Amino acid sequence: MQNLTVVRLIDNQLAWYPPGAGIEPRLLDNPEALAAFTATLAAGNQQGCFAAPGADVRLLQLQVTPEEKQHISKALPFLLEEQVAEDIEQLHFAACPLGKDNFGVALCRHQLMAAWETQLSGLPPLPRWLPEPLLLPWRAGEWCIVLESRQAIVRTGECQGYTIEHALLPTLLAASVRDPEAPQSLVIYGSDQTADLALVPDELKGRVQWRRGNLCSALMLARDDHPLNLRQGEYAARLPLSRWWREWRLVAGVFALAIGMQLASTWAEYRTLAQENLALRTAVEARYREAVPDGALVDAERQLQRQVDVLSGSASGGGFVPLLEKAGAIIVERPGTAIVSINYTQRGDEMRLNILAEDFASVEQLRSGLAAAGLDAAMESSSAQGERVRARIRVGRS
């Protein structure tokens, strides 16, 4: 485990094993040791791992069906309910896939998980919690045993192992002799070869590889990629929001103040523009009513533009203004003739001229002049008005 920094409990005290550690672990019992541990984690590509005491964690491998596999996290307590003596509500279950339908499972009490969280609260976050037997090196058909002063850490499989007292080790090894899956090789790390081999039954002594060393030595040969992690479910690693807040709260405060000032400025500008827009709309509507006193007012600009388009005509030459321009050129040539009123009809693109002329002949000459100019001119009525003649002529496009 060249990139793994391991923390474990030794006599209920926290100690750590740096990557490539020497003979003994280093206790985390003073500020200097804690600073060195923190610096090691911060330097380079180092990962932190808590070695959960093997005596408090039960490891096993479990075959599941495809249906159970889909909901393995919820199904585990019920699949293992008959294999545990304690109430499953008091137990924490963690699992990892080892094969197609094979899972490694770890069980421990919620009370212990909470206690470990409390003990580790003063350290930098440790995202991985691995049962300590799984920190030992392992190969198929091989068991690895680390003998310490009062206990033995044993790894027997890919996700199997335990931590027991010295006195119980001979009994368990003797029982393994009769097991069909008895180890083909025993790798034992210890300090006294004679005393250590005395713990091994005679049937297994020929399979023993004794090595001088301790857990530090075993960690040098172990892999650091075991997928099992006790930090699952409600104990899963969470973002360090409180630490981030302490580090960035000043920056966040300045940023929030700047955003607040920007929002206030934007709101004030919006209010000013809204008031200006309201005043402008009021002025536009007032001017529209000056030009068009009657009728509904919905969109003054659009309605006024439509009126202008109607009066000015289209690209084809239609409209009131072109028609009036053409008729007016004929009327101004006759000084004795005056326009009294004009009534324009958009639908027919025609207008009715009420005129006063000197006599009926002048009216007829005007009508003829309009017709000669290419307009459709028809006299609708005429009558004498004193010494003059009043007539109404309908003028349209021919």
Sequence ranges of the domains in the chain: 4-238, 239-297, 313-397
> Which pLDDT score is estimated for 59?
95
- Indicate the pLDDT class of residue 325, thresholds 50, 70 and 90: confident
CB-CB contact of 90 with 111 (8 Å): yes
SS (H, E, C) the chain: CCCEEEEEEECCEEEEECCCCCCCCEECCCHHHHHHHHHHHHCCCCEEEEEECHHHCEEEEEECCHHHHHCHHHHHHHHCHHHCCCCHHHEEEEEEECCCCEEEEEEEEHHHHHHHHHHCCCCCCCCEEEEHHHHCCCCCCEEEEEECCCEEEEEEECCEEEEEEHHHHHHHHHHHHCCCCCCCEEEEEECCHHHHHCCCCHHHHCCEEEEECCHHHHHHHCCCCCCCCCCCHHHCCCCCHHHHHHHHHHHHHHHHHHHHHHHHHHHHHHHHHHHHHHHHHHHHHHHHHHHCCCCCCCCHHHHHHHHHHHHHCCCCCCCHHHHHHHHHHHHCCCCCCEEEEEEEECCCCEEEEEEEECCHHHHHHHHHHHHHCCEEEEEEEEEEECCEEEEEEEEEEC
What confidence tens digit (pLDDT) does each residue in 276-301 have? 999 988 888 888 787 777 777 777 77
> Which pLDDT score is estimated for 86?
87
Nearest to 143 by CA among 119, 160, 163: 160
Q: Cβ–Cβ contacts within 10 Å for residue 163, how many?
A: 19
- The pTM (predicted TM-score) of the whole model is 0.61
> Which pLDDT score is estimated for 315?
44
CATH 3.30.420.380 assigned to 4-238: yes
Examine the pLDDT at 302 and tell me if it is beyond 80.
Answer: no
CB-CB contact of 252 with 241 (8 Å): no
Q: Which residues pair with 4 in a beta bridge?
A: 47
Q: What is the mean pLDDT of the chain?
A: 87
> Which pLDDT score is estimated for 112?
96
> Which pLDDT score is estimated for 119?
94
What CATH number should be reported for the domain whose range is 313-397? 3.30.1360.100
What confidence tens digit (pLDDT) does each residue in 144-185 have? 999 998 999 999 999 999 999 989 999 999 998 888 888 999
Lowest-pLDDT range, 184-193, 202-211, 225-234? 225-234
> Which pLDDT score is estimated for 1?
59
> Which pLDDT score is estimated for 23?
65
Lowest-pLDDT range, 5-9, 20-24, 340-344? 20-24
> Which pLDDT score is estimated for 275?
93
Give mean pLDDT, residues 385-394. 89
What confidence tens digit (pLDDT) does each residue in 21-60 have? 566 788 998 999 999 898 888 876 678 899 999 999 999 9
Give mean pLDDT, residues 81-92. 89
Intrachain domains 4-238 and 313-397 with the same fold: no
Examine the pLDDT at 316 and tell me if it is beyond 60.
Answer: no
Give mean pLDDT, residues 375-389. 88
> Which pLDDT score is estimated for 212?
93
Tokens of 208: 């023993």
Task: Report d(CA 320, CA 255) in Å as an integer.
Answer: 63
